[in-house]
Amino acid sequence: MTSETVTKDKKEVKKEKKEKKEKKEAKEAQAAVKGASEMGISIRKDVDFAGWYQQVLTKSEMLEYYDVSGCYILRPYSYNVWKEIQNFFDAKITEMGVEDTYFPMFVSNKVLEKEKDHIEGFSPEVAWVTRAGSSDLEEPVAIRPTSETVMYPYFAKWIRSYRDLPFKVNQWNSVVRWEFKHPQPFLRTREFLWQEGHTAHLTKEEADTEVREILSLYAQVYSDLLAVPMIQGVKSDKEKFAGGLYTTTVEGYIPTTGRAIQAGTSHCLGQNFSKMFNIVVEDPDTTGKADGEAAKKLLVWQNSWGLSTRTIGVMVMVHGDDKGLVMPPRVASIQVVIVPCGLTVKTSQEDRRKVEDEVVRIEKALKKAGVKTKADLRDNYSPGFKFAHWELRGIPLRIEVGPKDLQKEQVVVVRRDNGEKSSIPTKDLENDIKNLLDTVQNDMYARAKKVRDDAIVRVDKWEDFVPTLNNKCLCLIPWCDRTECEDDIKEKSARRDQQDEPEDERAPSMGAKSLCMPFDQPTENPIVLGETKCVACGENAKHFMLFGRSY
């Protein structure tokens, strides 16, 4: 290699570095929100989604970063969302006969090894405790990544008869999964909060029924509380829960990135675990039929299901905007904020007191009516500052009260979701505000659903598949249901240029992955078995499958 070539190579490297730096600076300039204050969001959602997401979570005081990578502090504002989800879901599963329990977080290696197929799916993520003080443990213990192997030895002990079925328990706890290198708050964290339900049934039919009931409740959590639409369906064999019979899922859609996100799963475990842990009962049809003849033993059918604090991240990503959070009213810790306005240095003390008294009166009246309300009477901040402060936190409604409003016996109400401003008489304000909160909740869901529906595109030719993905859409295709084809789709649809999008080790996936076989299959031009061909490989299609890039 000549010195001239070396010099040329150095110049090329220097040029590439300069271009990369200029590109980064241009992107940052493009992403910056004009006029953003230090307290506000300074990054545009549609330009730098990852930076926007981080800013929204921290500046809105939902979350604080912790000194252990992948672990985060859930501040009261976000934990309240989780509380609302807990209250709703716990009431529903209690009606179904599920009882709360709690098992230890530590798992012995011996127990983990009991079910190799299951734990193999989690083995890269298992965190181990190997020392206590200055001494090494004789046998390391794992911190639960999930609790099947923790619970089921005791199921075998407690379930002695078919009369003990169905057996249904749930625990609200945290789990630890340590494998990935690039955690994302709420979406993929090393410790996260969730509920995990574990049940045992006499028949597969009973287990199947419960799987769908739970999945429907998960969809309801998103639609009714978080105003986010979900697609319900069944995972492919490749994507199902390790060791299970089949997995059902609720899949969400993040419009800004065009990616899907697995938002909750309900698994039928079949009899795999009951076989491993010897969870058996006597067959009620053979019990006592013949003197001295042993009753036939049956393996129980099991389910497990879980929903986590990923719910909060999905909600933020779907609804948030360049001003910050947009909170659905049903999970907002503050639904209405009241701000005194129109007060200047020329305003008399008497008029100022009247406005502030009215603000307090309205706050009390709304609270009494069951509306979560806060009066912002801070006298060291301007109304404009207060507006920005509460907009950043996504408060669904802002009520403005000024001297002129007192004269007209009205208030001005501003919606956070769309910025609409209206005047409402104070005469029946409580009912009007409650109705408006319901309207905001419903409108947020309707908008999110329309965007999601528009992004699900039926694809009948492979040449349209990748362009559809690149247009930030999900692809609904006739599919052969073969793992080999699934792997091929992921490989063929991989997008090589990912410079502008941060990736973590496992998700988002660069190539399209199977999301689910939707329960609601298309009725127009449906699959004709033996005639309709798989879009990807040309084999006979069995059903429609949803594919997309995914978190």
| Burial of 475 per CB tally in 10 Å (0-12, 13-18, 19+) | buried
Residue 124: predicted pLDDT: 77
The DSSP output letter for 181 is: S
Class at the top of the CATH hierarchy for domain 455-548: alpha beta
Q: Whole-angstrom Cα distance, residue 475 to residue 468?
A: 7
Lookup result for tokens 């969400």: 252
pLDDT tens track for 68-100: 999 999 999 999 999 999 999 999 999 999 999
Spatial neighbors of 332 by CB under 8 A, at least 6 apart, are 80, 372, 394, 395, 396
Write down the pLDDT at residue 113.
75
C-beta separation of 72 from 66 below 8 A? yes
Helix (H, G, I), strand (E, B) or coil at 353: helix
Q: How far apart are CA 237 and CA 142, in angstroms?
A: 27
Q: What does the pLDDT read at residue 498?
A: 44
* Sign of the torsion angle spanned by Cα atoms 353, 358, 359, 364: positive
pTM metric for this prediction: 0.89
Residues whose CB is less than 8 angstroms from the CB of residue 229 and which lie 6 or more positions away in sequence, other chains included: 222, 223, 252, 253, 445, 448, 449, 452, 453
Q: Where in the chain is the domain with CATH 3.40.50.800?
A: 336-443
Here the tokens at position 488 are 């091929």
Cis preceding-peptide flag for 104 (omega within 30 of 0):
no
Sequence-ordered strand ranges (E) for 94-204:
99-100, 106-108, 127-132, 135-143, 167-176, 191-201
Cα 127 to chain center, whole Å? Answer: 23
pLDDT of amino acid 253: 98
| Helix or strand (DSSP H, E) at 262 | strand 259-270
Residue carrying the six token digits 């793992």: 483
Three-state DSSP state, 511: coil
**DSSP per-residue letters across 103-117:** --SEEEHHHHGGGHH
Distance between CA atoms of 187 and 300, rounded to whole angstroms? 34
485 three-class SS:
helix
Cα(363)–Cα(372) distance, integer angstroms? 9
pLDDT value at residue 248 = 98
Q: How far is CA 481 from CA 134, 191, 237, 510, in A?
A: 53, 34, 9, 21
Backbone angles phi, psi at 143, to 5 degrees: -95, 130
Measured between alpha carbons, how far is 501 from 254 in angstroms, rounded to an integer?
Answer: 14
Q: Which residues contact 145 (CB under 8 A, 6 or more apart)?
A: 122, 125, 126, 175, 176, 177
Numbered ranges of CATH 3.30.110.30 in the chain: 455-548
- Nearest Cα neighbor of 206 from 151, 262, 133, 281 is 281
Residues of the chain with CATH 3.30.930.10: 98-311
98-311: which CATH topology? BirA Bifunctional Protein; domain 2 (3.30.930)
Q: Which residues of the chain have pLDDT under 50?
A: 25-26, 29, 36, 497-509
Phi, psi of 110 (to 5 degrees): -60, -40
Residue 289 phi, psi (nearest 5): -80, -30
Q: Do residues 30 and 46 make contact, with C-beta atoms less than 8 angstroms apart?
A: no
**Sign of the CA dihedral running 314, 317, 321, 322:** positive
Instruction: Give the C-alpha separation, 527 to 542, whole Å.
Output: 7
> Packing angle between helix 349-368 and helix 429-455, nearest 10 degrees?
70
Handedness of CA 227, 231, 236, 240 (dihedral sign): positive
Per-residue model confidence (pLDDT) at position 213: 98
For 382, half-sphere exposure in the C-beta direction (CA atoms, 13 angstrom radius) is: 5
Picking from 394, 369, 86, the residue whose alpha carbon sits closest to that of residue 225 is 86
In this prediction, residue 240 carries a pLDDT of: 95
CA distance 343 to 356: 10
pLDDT computed for residue 507 by the predictor: 37
Own/partner long-range contacts of 177-180 (Cβ < 8 Å, ≥24 apart)? 177/122, 177/125, 177/126, 177/127, 177/145, 178/70, 178/125, 178/126, 178/127, 179/124, 179/125, 179/505, 179/506, 180/70, 180/125, 180/504, 180/505, 180/506
The domain defined by 336-443 folds into: Rossmann fold (3.40.50)
Distance CA 421, CA 403 (A): 18
What is the distance between the alpha carbons of residues 121 and 236, in angstroms, rounded to a whole number? 15
Cα(260)–Cα(479) distance, integer angstroms? 19
| Cα 273 versus chain centre, distance | 28
DSSP 8-state symbol, 550: B
pLDDT of residue 149: 87
